[in-house]
Amino acid sequence: MLSDRVDIPEVWQTLPAAIREQLAAELRPGETLVCWFEPDLDRNLRYRPGLVVLTDQRLLSWESPDDGATRLRFADGDTRSSRRQPRWQSWPLEAGLSLRVREHGSAGVLEWVSASQRLAYWRYSLARAVGARRLAAALDALREGRRLESSGHAPPGSAECASCGATLLAHQVACPRCGAMRPKPPVKSLWRLHRFARKWIVPILLGFCLTLVATAASLIPPYLTMPLMDHVLIPYEYGQRDDLSPVKWYLLGLAGAALLAFLLGWARTYVLAWVSERIAADLRRETYSHLQRLSLEFFSSKRTGDLISRISNDTDRICYFLSGHLLDFANDLLMISMTAAIMLWISPWLALVTLCPLPFIVLLIHRVRDRLKHGFQFASRAWAEMTSVLADTIPGIRVVKAFAQEQKEIERFRRANERVLSANDRVNFAWSLFDPVMILLTDLGVLVIWGFAVYQIWQRNITVGVLAAFLQYIGRFYARLDSMSRIITAAQRAGAATQRVFAILDRKSTVPEPARPVHPGRLRGAIEFRNVSFRYGSRTVLSNVNLKIEPGEMIGLVGPSGAGKTTLINLICRFFDVAEGAILVDGIDIRSFPVEEYRRNIGIVLQEPFLFYGTVADNIAYGKPEATRQEIVAAARAARAHEFILRLPEAYDSLVGERGQLLSGGERQRISIARSLLIDPRILILDEATSSVDTETEHEIQLALDNLIKGRTTIAIAHRLSTLRRADRLVVIERGRVVEVGSHRELLDRSGPYARLYYAQFQMTHSHHSPAAT
């Protein structure tokens, strides 16, 4: 019925079912639905569903009569409540009317305005921001007579982001607009370790068999005491002075069983410790390599100390659990069931009486378990927080000392340490209760056995030997139960740790690898920005950037800080992906290149060059470890670093980086330039490469850079405009938009923002040099 009225049927299909019929009735004959948007707030900023619909003739709006509290969700198909008096409003699409989007903080407003007046507005939370912008774009597209590139609604074969409604293509794991990930059903965390255990299945099975045999061996001695007592000792006591020769055999048997249990136990412990160490190592390695592949976004949202603690401390806990406790657990379970079986076999009634406290113990363990798990999670987090304090202050120690804040940092650490303490106290309280309870239950069990067994012996149902064996078995039985209860603790601790480790492993990079990769090989270096926008949360950092850069051209990015220059180069490097639009290199969307292959074409020189701990040569060859010594020296020469490197005590073999040779800012910078030169990138990024050094050094670096720039597409950011003198074109960015493009001369002639910036700096340099200023 609908399909003969509209020519974009998918738009209808994506509409919430509950409203579809109503809207169909509301439209005039021949009217075509173009786009729709669901605001989720009312004017008073309360959650309330609504709908704004754009057709080729009108803008229609509908607001739910219920507020959000009644849980009307279109997607639920809840037609009942939406039938209650829907309120429709409509406006013809007259010339001069436009849709305007304003966002601030966590909410935004979509306004329907004429030149002089606001006709209507709809509020929405950021969760719906994409839809609002899409509607505004659809209106613009309609006005210009073009079909919106994509209606924004899901094309067939793709999914919609569950939280913002943006289109997710098949290969996208995270929503490109809102960053929300496709939710994934959680798995019991400890069990997930089996993925790592599979590789070591043979030694694990071996360890398990050893456990089985060792347990069986340890159950022999009590069994041997039974005949020893009944057939030898008691008759002997009653004066039957027979042959005492079986005694030595019994004793030998006892000794043999003990020895066997010892050897098997040793082998078992060793094998399982060996395996668990390897599982933990695999886990650490995999977590770290996964971490390396995550996008910068992940790192900027995480604290270093926390990540370190997850990889080191949490994996260690898992290892400890696997080696020490998982093993015990299997052992205990076996021991308990075997003990129970033997006891039942010897004397069923006595066994049943002995085992009656068992259900209480199970109940107790169950009760305490949840509390423990959360307690341990809390403790892990407190530990991570403490590591974070260290990771924060140790690299920043110069600032700490310069501001004489040692005492404050000590205090901060003390507080973090105290949180660890109190977190541990909290869990300790819970599990410390276990021990006494276990002892109490054991004592009760023994008491029950004595009472019941004495009765049974009196009744001549069992012998004294059986009682002796039972007393030994019950000791073992409860000892095992006790250790099982400790395992519960360790398992919860390891479970919490596993969860924290898997939180990293489960994180998908927001810079996904393409499903059908195009191998870039060696690029030419033509870059094109096509309608590029980027947002961080609600903040629009770049909007609608269009720019073409020729291969080999040098572009200077100019603008106040916070204008979006660094974001622009982060996008070129694919540290982040664009929110809208595309970046093309040599005419191909960079998202279709495998990330690593693409980045091999990019060299980057940062304001604060980072040198790793290692030799100068290692640092220069960082991006190309297979480089020959000649290549390294050539790169250093071109970067004008060769001579100062020769002055270092061990020349190219001098250690730099943390705990290494102290180098000046300019020297470090030239090493990083050499590093970029060596990989011979097609695209070169200079992010404030000279701003942290003095003019003299800047000159040196500039000479080094001139060598680097030759023949490469270069994008340079600089505050000091003089450093951009070689740029072919300057691109002025203000508040996320390109405001001017042209050569230095052209822009000065235009006397726009660039000219203002330039003269301001010019003046400043001059006043700096005048004596009055100093």
Partner 1 sequence: MNNPAPDDPIREPDPQFSLEYDALGQLVLIDTAGRRQVGVAPVRMFPISDPDGPVSIVDPAGRELASIPRLEDLPDWQREMIQSALAEREFMPVIRRIISVSSDLEPSQWVVETDRGRVTFQLDDEEDVRRLGPYRVLIIDAHKVRFLVDDVRKLDAASRRILENYL
Contact residues toward partner 1 (CB under 8 A) are 40-41, 45-48, 67-69, 71, 104-107, 109, 111, 113, 116-118, 121, 125-127, 129, 162-164, 178-181, 183-187, 189, 301-303, 306, 374, 377-378, 381, 499, 502-503, 506, 537-538, 734-735, 739, 752-753, 756, 760
| Nearest-approach distance from CB 136 to partner 1, in angstroms | 16
First to last CA, the chain: 81
Q: What span, in angstroms and rounded, lies between the C-alpha atoms of 353 and 720? A: 88
Of residues 48 and 134, the one with the C-beta less far from partner 1: 48
Q: What span, in angstroms and rounded, lies between the C-alpha atoms of 506 and 541? A: 28
Of residues 182 and 637, the one with the C-beta less far from partner 1: 182
Of residues 104 and 241, the one with the C-beta less far from partner 1: 104
Alpha helices, H only, 201-244: 201-218, 220-227, 234-237
| Nearest-approach distance from CB 178 to partner 1, in angstroms | 5
Helix (H) or strand (E) holding 591: none
Q: Which residues pair with 47 in a beta bridge?
A: 41
| Nearest-approach distance from CB 164 to partner 1, in angstroms | 6
| CA-based nearest residue to 486, from 526, 557, 431, 408 | 431
Q: What span, in angstroms and rounded, lies between the C-alpha atoms of 358 and 347? A: 18
| Nearest-approach distance from CB 125 to partner 1, in angstroms | 5
| Nearest-approach distance from CB 177 to partner 1, in angstroms | 9
Q: What span, in angstroms and rounded, lies between the C-alpha atoms of 585 and 566? A: 18
Of residues 112 and 477, the one with the C-beta less far from partner 1: 112
3-state secondary structure of 496: helix
| Nearest-approach distance from CB 187 to partner 1, in angstroms | 8
Of residues 259 and 503, the one with the C-beta less far from partner 1: 503
State the CB neighbour count (10 A cutoff) for residue 509.
Answer: 17
Of residues 44 and 85, the one with the C-beta less far from partner 1: 44
| Nearest-approach distance from CB 162 to partner 1, in angstroms | 7
Please give the distance of CA 147 from its chain centroid, rounded to a whole number: 39
Of residues 500 and 574, the one with the C-beta less far from partner 1: 500
| Nearest-approach distance from CB 180 to partner 1, in angstroms | 4
Q: What span, in angstroms and rounded, lies between the C-alpha atoms of 413 and 530? A: 49
How do strand 683-687 and strand 602-605 relate by DSSP bridges?
parallel
Q: Which residues contact 370 (CB under 8 A, 6 or more apart)?
A: none
Of residues 253 and 753, the one with the C-beta less far from partner 1: 753
| CA-based nearest residue to 8, from 159, 129, 140, 155 | 155
Q: What span, in angstroms and rounded, lies between the C-alpha atoms of 89 and 52? A: 9
Query: Quick one: residue 122, left, alpha or beta (phi over 0 = left, psi -120 to 50 = alpha)?
Result: beta
| Nearest-approach distance from CB 663 to partner 1, in angstroms | 34
Of residues 499 and 672, the one with the C-beta less far from partner 1: 499
Of residues 208 and 298, the one with the C-beta less far from partner 1: 298
What is the 3-state composition of the chain as percent helix, strand, coil, each rounded to the nearest 5? 55, 15, 30
Specify whether the CB–CB gap between 433 and 440 falls below 8 A: no
The two tokens of residue 225 are 């005491």
Q: What span, in angstroms and rounded, lies between the C-alpha atoms of 52 and 90? A: 9
Q: What span, in angstroms and rounded, lies between the C-alpha atoms of 99 and 109? A: 10
- Alpha-carbon distances of 194 from 190, 315, 488, 561, rounded to whole Å: 8, 14, 18, 49
Of residues 179 and 551, the one with the C-beta less far from partner 1: 179
| Nearest-approach distance from CB 181 to partner 1, in angstroms | 5
| Nearest-approach distance from CB 183 to partner 1, in angstroms | 5
| Nearest-approach distance from CB 163 to partner 1, in angstroms | 5
Helix (H) or strand (E) holding 30: none
Of residues 18 and 469, the one with the C-beta less far from partner 1: 18
